[in-house]
Amino acid sequence: VSGKLFRDLTPADIKLTMDVNVLAVFWVTQTFLEDMRELGYGHVTTISSVAGLFGSIKLVDYSCSKFAVMGLVEALRFEIMAENLPIEFTMVNPYFIKTGMFEGVVSKWPYFMPMLETGWVGDKIIEAVEQNRVIVVMPRIFYYLMLTKAFCPDRLSYHINKFSGTFDVMQYFTGRPDSKEADSKKEKSTDCDSALIP
């Protein structure tokens, strides 16, 4: 997660985000899906983010990658359904999880939009897979925000999201402390042509 404004993103920032969040999902899913075809069953669980449902400030590259994953899984699920294969899909869209990756992020309404505990998220994912749920959003308030996005005029939806504080969450973002050195090395690198391959 770069936490940068769009105008400050470098080609290396964008490529790294897409390699990790999109291309890696392609390669891993392709690899294991073939095994599921041979077995005749399976369940693909993909971790996206609420940033794949709503765009936000200083998350342009991250949101772009997560929107891409949402499209990838939806289209692939329809392909598998058309083939009548008994393979299930679950797309998980959590809010910020306390892993350190989003260190410094502050929720305006922590009661409704809390930073999520890893154990709780893990339990919800297992529960969703057992129930063959197609999409999971956490916390639940984001289901209602999805409705405002779908049915409200764009300008009203913008103001609702602004009031919710989702546009300000990255204001004090610092990220993992150990990511500073990695960012420094990345900026010094001039090689933007390498690609993540299986």
Enumerate the active-site residues.
62
Question: Cα 69 vs. chain centroid, distance in angstroms?
Answer: 7
Cα 94 from Cα 105, distance rounded (Å): 14
The CA-to-CA distance between both ends of the chain, in Å, stands at: 22
Cα 157 from Cα 86, distance rounded (Å): 38
Alpha helices in 40-140 (DSSP H): 60-82, 118-130
Instruction: Please answer whether residues 193 and 16 qualify as being in contact, where contact means their C-beta atoms are separated by less than 8 angstroms.
Output: no
